Chain A
Amino acid sequence: MNYLNLLKVAIKAINSNKFRSFLSMLGIIIGVAAVIIMMAIGQGSKESVRQNISQMGTNVIMIRPGADMRGGVRQDPSAMQTLRQEDYESIVQNRKYVTYVSPEVTASGQAIYGANNTTTSVYGESLEYFDIKQWTVEQGDSFTEEDIRKAAKVCVVGKTIVDELLPNVGDPVGKTIRFKSIPFRIVGVLKSKGYNSWGMDQDNVIVAPYTTVMKRILAQTFFTSINCSAITEELTDEAIDELTETLRQNHKIKEGDEEDFTIRSQQEMMETMSSTMDSITIILVVAAAFSLIVAGIGIMNIMLVSVTERTKEIGLRMSVGARGIDISSQFLIESIMISVTGGVLGILVGWGGTLLCANFGLPVSIPMWSIFLSFAVCTLIGILFGFFPAKKAASMNPIEAIRYE
């Protein structure tokens, strides 16, 4: 019997038992929908984390003082004073795979303008900071090299600072705010970046020349960290090697000795975050996949009932010349049709469910491959769980089958 005829017979068989077929499909529908929704949520969260991390800048590499936790002892990085002006200068001089470098010192405290005050952080940076973070000055200008050299009391402020301290003063450029009683003249306003994935307001920031923050606010000679960026994302590893080499030489660290700094790339962070999201997604999908197996057993059950119910039909078909393979393919196609139809409906339901989740504010994104995968899995379930009933049908004795009551 050719496949078109087999298909017709299968459609007819399913049609003549609509409700029963639907019930056995239901398991598949729910299973596939669950898998699709879980994958969409997993993928969506992953994408939103990635997006948030990439907002931090491109190809960013962070150097922090102190080593990673090794041998079970975690050192306090803020107590380490290993990153200094010489390091910054030699990184700049030796840069090959590194494009931008900016030392960073941070101080937190209260900023005041007139009767308004707000709690914020001051970031002491070099000019290249804006390139690393891909941040542009919207109003006014950035501070200059001259300002850095002279440790001038100028700053660039984020949108939140403007909103909190200078709500009704018109153009904030040229106004002077105070941070820890030191006056800073605003030379520019940064473009808004919004909140990051940890809920931190990235616009609540004052950026000043690093020299100013070091000398006038903190009175310290070391950096909190140094931020760099690699030429391209692919060259991140080379850039890290280059930075490590420079710093090891500077700090006179012998071969085999532990480094007194830590280098982390944004890529690495992204991978760590993604792999966490991946394992959560896998757990969710595995849970959903179990329901597919249960659904498959349901289909097998119904197919066995169907085979027994149609014993006479099988006997008749055999006596008019159907071979075992004709009979088994008939039932196999029927079970594949049930599971694939269930799968298609499941994909639709899953898609609808995903839209619903998106409505509730969950980050979702349906990966195309999850649809193909569901489809493939359904076909596989149809074959796998239809195989035994089909075999049972094909191995019937026509003499007994035709007289079965």
Chain B
Amino acid sequence: MEERKVVIELDKVRRDFQVGDEVVHALRGVSFKIFEGEFVTIMGTSGSGKSTLLNQLGCLDTPTSGEYYLDGIPVRKMKKNERALLRNRKIGFVFQNYNLLPKTTAVENVELPLMYNSKYSASQRKEAAIEALKAVGLGDRLYHKSNQMSGGQMQRVAIARALVNNPTIILADEATGNLDTRTSFEMLVLFQKLYAEGRTIIFVTHNPEIAKYSSRNIMLRDGKIREDTVNTNIQSAAEALAALPVNNDD
């Protein structure tokens, strides 16, 4: 187990916010490691600090104290632009409301992270985007515009966008929050497929159901880790999907 590569390491990460005269302690010394190839769910009620933790993990914010190593790189003292570069190369985001560019095709949406990477030529970008879209099962909808797609399809595009730069971690923020049960399970099937391919996935959610399908669950409360359990009995999302009553509208 210990031979596995550590992709994320948090060392007593604290994050304080100044709200008026009061100091709010959103994270009060969080430490954990995530290894390559894990599917981790981070769970907690609102106010537990999970959004703050997500921002830390996503290099959108830096700790007040402690240190966060992403792929061995210390993030705390990084400047804005350095973090932007780090996000571009190492992180793939999946958001709750998909956040696709309006009136833009699937391919163009998926290309977006590569737009900010000068190593990719236009043709390489397109190639990578098409490949990522095929990987999420949207090979037949490459040139559909974002407003012509269903919620599930849009989230698939968003996942493809998170995959396209071949990131160290995929960071999903309530990625099933806006979807119906059936589509949610479809997404979980997709995440489990990516997990099976060896990708590292961090899935932040308040839905306890999802923990059943991940390999490890970190539970937050009041800015501290309350529970950190490895799931030895990972359920198959595909089976759960098959067990769902069939929706005739589809």
Residues of A within 8 A of B (CB): 1-2, 5, 12, 16, 312-313, 315-326, 398-399, 402
- Could you tell me the distance between the alpha carbons of A5 and B118 in the complex, rounded to whole angstroms? 11
The answer to whether B88 and A321 have CB atoms under 8 Å apart is yes
The answer to whether A321 and B58 have CB atoms under 8 Å apart is no
The answer to whether A399 and B55 have CB atoms under 8 Å apart is yes
- Could you tell me the distance between the alpha carbons of A313 and B118 in the complex, rounded to whole angstroms? 20
- Could you tell me the distance between the alpha carbons of A12 and B93 in the complex, rounded to whole angstroms? 24
- Could you tell me the distance between the alpha carbons of A317 and B112 in the complex, rounded to whole angstroms? 8
The answer to whether A402 and B115 have CB atoms under 8 Å apart is no
- Stretch of B5-13, B78-86, B181-189, B232-240 that contacts chain A: B78-86
- Could you tell me the distance between the alpha carbons of A16 and B101 in the complex, rounded to whole angstroms? 12
Q: Quick one: which of B55, B99, B116 contacts A321, CB cutoff 8 A?
A: B116
The answer to whether A318 and B101 have CB atoms under 8 Å apart is no
A208 to chain B, nearest CB (A): 84
**In the complex, which residues 39-97 of chain B have their Cβ closer than 8 Å to any Cβ of chain A?**
55, 58, 60-61, 80-81, 84-85, 87-89, 93, 95
The answer to whether B55 and A313 have CB atoms under 8 Å apart is no
The answer to whether A1 and B115 have CB atoms under 8 Å apart is yes
- Could you tell me the distance between the alpha carbons of A317 and B102 in the complex, rounded to whole angstroms? 13
The answer to whether B60 and A321 have CB atoms under 8 Å apart is no
B94 to chain A, nearest CB (A): 11
The answer to whether B101 and A321 have CB atoms under 8 Å apart is no
The reply on B124 being an interface residue by CB < 8 A is no
B51 to chain A, nearest CB (A): 8
- Could you tell me the distance between the alpha carbons of A399 and B117 in the complex, rounded to whole angstroms? 21
Residues of B within 8 A of A313 (CB): 101-102
The answer to whether A1 and B61 have CB atoms under 8 Å apart is no
The answer to whether B81 and A324 have CB atoms under 8 Å apart is yes
The answer to whether A319 and B87 have CB atoms under 8 Å apart is yes
- Could you tell me the distance between the alpha carbons of A313 and B55 in the complex, rounded to whole angstroms? 18
**In the complex, which residues 94-128 of chain B have their Cβ closer than 8 Å to any Cβ of chain A?**
95, 99, 101-104, 112-113, 115-118
The answer to whether A320 and B103 have CB atoms under 8 Å apart is no
The answer to whether A321 and B113 have CB atoms under 8 Å apart is yes
The answer to whether B116 and A322 have CB atoms under 8 Å apart is yes
- Beyond A1-B116, A2-B118, A317-B112, whether A322 also contacts B84 by CB under 8 A is yes
Residues of A within 8 A of B161 (CB): 320
- Could you tell me the distance between the alpha carbons of A135 and B203 in the complex, rounded to whole angstroms? 96
- Could you tell me the distance between the alpha carbons of A321 and B90 in the complex, rounded to whole angstroms? 10
4 tightest CB-CB pairs across the interface, nearest first?
A321-B88, A320-B113, A321-B116, A323-B84
Residue of A whose beta carbon sits closest to that of B85:
A321
- Could you tell me the distance between the alpha carbons of A336 and B161 in the complex, rounded to whole angstroms? 30
Q: Quick one: which of A12, A326, A402 contacts B99, CB cutoff 8 A?
A: A402
The answer to whether A316 and B58 have CB atoms under 8 Å apart is no
Q: Quick one: which of B61, B80, B81, B112 contacts A320, CB cutoff 8 A?
A: B112
- Could you tell me the distance between the alpha carbons of A399 and B113 in the complex, rounded to whole angstroms? 17
